[in-house]
């Protein structure tokens, strides 16, 4: 039995996660949710004074925006689309017969105008672009959303539906790179406060195919993405629990995000994998929060 499966079974046995019969799709107990809520309050304590505009998008986004984003060019293996029945009464009868016969019943399912949100920031860029020019001082946003990635796994830290908290900064190159460095420093302090040993390393996104390898190499060579890593189910392959991304002007050019002087805005974001951070806390401090070290409990619950 692997470390991943062993930890997952312990989480099930403790009632912290609830088995749904689908790998990477779990219910969460009240205690698990309380840890996430407490950690989000810790995020607020570190970033709340920055004056970010809070926006909460649903876990589905406009398919036209999704297509424009180029996500399918880079990550088709991770995408999730929403389909619905669009047939007539006869088609419905055929669907029911297929289900009774345990056959494929999805033939009359058609894609809708909604796709599952792949990252909390994806709906933000077209939304802000419609507002017009960004102020010279830049703009800062606080996001949280359920996100979907199609990568079923027995690793409890690799879920298909999970929550991502993000801060997104738009402005000049200097402005957004300073923002990213600030949050890298904050990330280390936050994890120290909750008793987790971490490291930050350069990383790349899981781009698809041969062309994706070149994109991944370029991303690493230019230090565009860093991840804060914490051992959860493996010490040799620690889990990325925070990411710090500099997009250069890629999203600004794609969505027409311009500053008041007409220049294309640069963007950067910091992302918190909320389930992963909770799992790291349970793994390192035990499955009963009442037994966690007092400094950790104080950092989370005061």
156 contact partners, CB below 8 Å, separation of at least 6: 4, 7, 8, 11, 17, 26, 232, 233, 279
Among residues 115, 134, 167, which one ends one of the domains? 115
Q: Are residues 149 and 200 in the same domain?
A: yes
CA angle 94, 96, 97 (to 5 degrees): 65
105 and 223 within one domain: no
- The verdict on 187 and 206 lying in the same domain is yes
Residues 99 and 56 in one domain: no
Q: What is the CATH number of the domain that holds 252?
A: 3.30.930.10
Q: Are residues 207 and 291 in the same domain?
A: yes
pLDDT of res. 1: 56
Does residue 125 share a domain with residue 197? yes
Task: Give the SS3 label for residue 28.
Answer: strand
DSSP bridge partners of 292: none
> Among residues 67, 97, 115, which one ends one of the domains?
115
Residue appearing with tokens 């312990």: 10
CB 27 within 8 A of CB 20: yes
Reading the block at residue 154, the tokens are 């027995």
17 and 91, same domain (yes or no): no
Same domain, 230 and 97: no
pLDDT value at position 216? 81
pLDDT tens digit at each of 302 positions of the chain: 577 779 999 999 999 999 999 999 999 999 999 999 999 999 999 999 999 999 999 999 999 999 999 999 999 999 999 999 999 999 999 999 999 999 999 988 999 999 999 999 999 999 999 999 999 999 999 999 999 999 999 999 999 999 999 999 999 999 999 999 999 999 999 999 999 999 999 988 888 787 777 788 888 878 889 999 999 999 889 999 999 999 999 999 999 999 999 999 999 999 999 999 999 999 999 999 999 999 999 999 99
Cα–Cα nearest to 41, from 282, 274, 285, 287: 274
Residues 105 and 218 in one domain: no
d(CA 265, CA 36): 32
Range of the domain at 86: 82-115
Phi, psi angles (nearest 5°) of residue 140? -135, 135
151 and 260 assigned to the same domain: yes
How far from 166 is each of 23, 37, 120, 173, 283, CA to CA, in Å?
Answer: 25, 15, 7, 19, 23
Instruction: Specify the number of domains making up the chain.
Output: 2
pTM of the model: 0.94
Stated as kind and residue range, the H or E segment containing 167 is: strand 161-171
Helices first, then strands: H and E counts in the chain:
11, 12
Residues 279 and 295 in one domain: yes
Domain termination site, one of 59, 91, 115: 115
Same domain, 150 and 187: yes
């Amino acid at each position: 039995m692997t470390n991943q499966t062993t930890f997952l079974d312990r989480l099930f046995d403790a009632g912290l996660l609830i088995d749904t019969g689908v790998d990477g799709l779990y219910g969460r107990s009240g205690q698990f949710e309380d840890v996430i809520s407490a950690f989000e309050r810790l995020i607020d304590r570190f970033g709340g004074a920055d004056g970010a505009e809070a926006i909460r998008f649903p876990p589905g986004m406009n398919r036209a925006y999704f297509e424009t984003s180029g996500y399918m060019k880079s990550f088709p293996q991770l995408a999730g689309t929403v389909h619905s029945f669009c047939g007539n009464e006869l088609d419905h009868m055929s669907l029911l017969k297929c289900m009774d016969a345990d056959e494929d019943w999805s033939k009359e399912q058609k894609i809708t105008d909604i796709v599952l949100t792949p990252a909390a920031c994806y709906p933000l860029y077209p939304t802000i672009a419609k507002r017009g020019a960004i102020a010279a001082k830049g703009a800062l946003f606080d996001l949280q959303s359920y996100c979907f990635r199609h990568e079923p796994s027995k690793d409890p830290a690799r879920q298909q539906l999970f929550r991502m908290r993000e801060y997104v900064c738009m402005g000049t190159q200097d402005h957004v790179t300073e923002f990213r460095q600030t949050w890298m420093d904050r990330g280390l302090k936050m994890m120290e406060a909750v008793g987790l040993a971490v490291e930050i390393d350069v990383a790349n996104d899981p781009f698809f195919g041969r062309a994706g390898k070149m994109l991944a190499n370029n991303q690493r060579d230019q230090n565009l993405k860093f991840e804060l890593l914490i051992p959860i189910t493996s010490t040799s392959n620690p889990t990325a629990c925070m990411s710090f991304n500099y997009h250069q002007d890629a999203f600004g050019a794609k969505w027409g995000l311009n500053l008041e002087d007409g220049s294309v805005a640069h963007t950067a974001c910091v992302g918190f994998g909320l389930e992963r951070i909770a799992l790291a806390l349970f793994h390192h401090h035990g499955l009963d929060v009442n037994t966690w070290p007092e400094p950790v409990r104080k950092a989370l619950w005061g």
